[in-house]
Amino acid sequence: MKKTLLLASVACLISANASAEMMQDLKPYVGIDYVYDNADFKGAASEAKDNYNSGSINAGIELMDYVSLEAFYQMAGERKAHLPVSEGGELKSSFDAYGLDLYGYLPLGCEQKFSLLATTGMAVYDTEIKQGGHKIDKSRIGYRVGGGAQYNLTDHIAARVVGRYSYVGTRDLNHLAEVTAGIRYTF
């Protein structure tokens, strides 16, 4: 009985030590991005403006070397398209998105300050289209894939640029092509 208790105690100490080491490897970060989106509207929204300037905030965690998981929220401002009254008058469109992205990094060079990156993820896209007193609200899960580059300015600050394709697939919004540029701070 004493040997079993001793072995169990040693196993607990080893696993606690391994868990503490694993937690030290996790590196949380926060970031802010400028986002330029080009939207592929169709159907009733085909006359809507197709380009958006928006902002995105995000928080992530480096799970292991060269892999991170990131949550984000993006808000695109309202765009107006001025159409003749015979075509319904002014058309307003906007969208918000929030979701999770998984990033993979490929460091280059001896100092490994520059990295190529690939990303894939999912997001909920909330779109709103208003025209002539009618309003269409849609919420849909979309899939995202992209690639880009990151440069580590210091041990804590990095600059990142990403190009991304997002498939939304609603009746009014097929997909988004976007470019993001932003700063990350790693704790």
Q: Domain locations in the chain? A: 27-186
Q: Identify the CATH assignment for 27-186 out of 3.40.190.10, 2.40.160.20, 3.10.310.30, 1.10.10.10.
A: 2.40.160.20
Q: What is the pLDDT of residue 24?
A: 65
Q: Which residue has the tokens 């105690």?
A: 9
The Cα 56–Cα 144 span in angstroms is: 15
Which pLDDT score, from 0 to 100, does residue 6 have? 44
Q: What is the pLDDT of residues 52-97, one digit of tens each?
A: 999 999 999 999 999 999 999 999 888 998 877 667 778 899 999 9
What is the widest separation between alpha-carbon atoms in the chain? 89
Q: CA nearest 40: which of 31, 29, 52?
A: 52
Beta bridge partners of 184: 31, 158
Give the integer Cα–Cα distance in Å for 182 and 162: 9
pTM for the full predicted model: 0.82
| pLDDT for the residue numbered 68 | 97
Q: What is the pLDDT of residue 5?
A: 46
Whole-number pLDDT of residue 46: 82
Q: What is the reported pLDDT for 25? A: 78
One pLDDT digit (tens) per residue for the chain, 187 residues: 444 444 454 455 455 444 545 556 799 999 999 999 999 988 877 888 889 999 999 999 999 999 999 999 999 888 998 877 667 778 899 999 999 999 999 999 999 999 999 999 999 999 998 887 888 898 999 999 999 999 999 999 999 999 999 999 988 889 999 999 999 999 9
Looking at residue 152, its pLDDT comes to: 96
* Beta strands, E only, the chain: 27-41, 51-64, 67-81, 91-108, 114-131, 134-152, 157-167, 173-186
- pLDDT, residue 7, reads 46
What was the pLDDT predicted at 14?
55
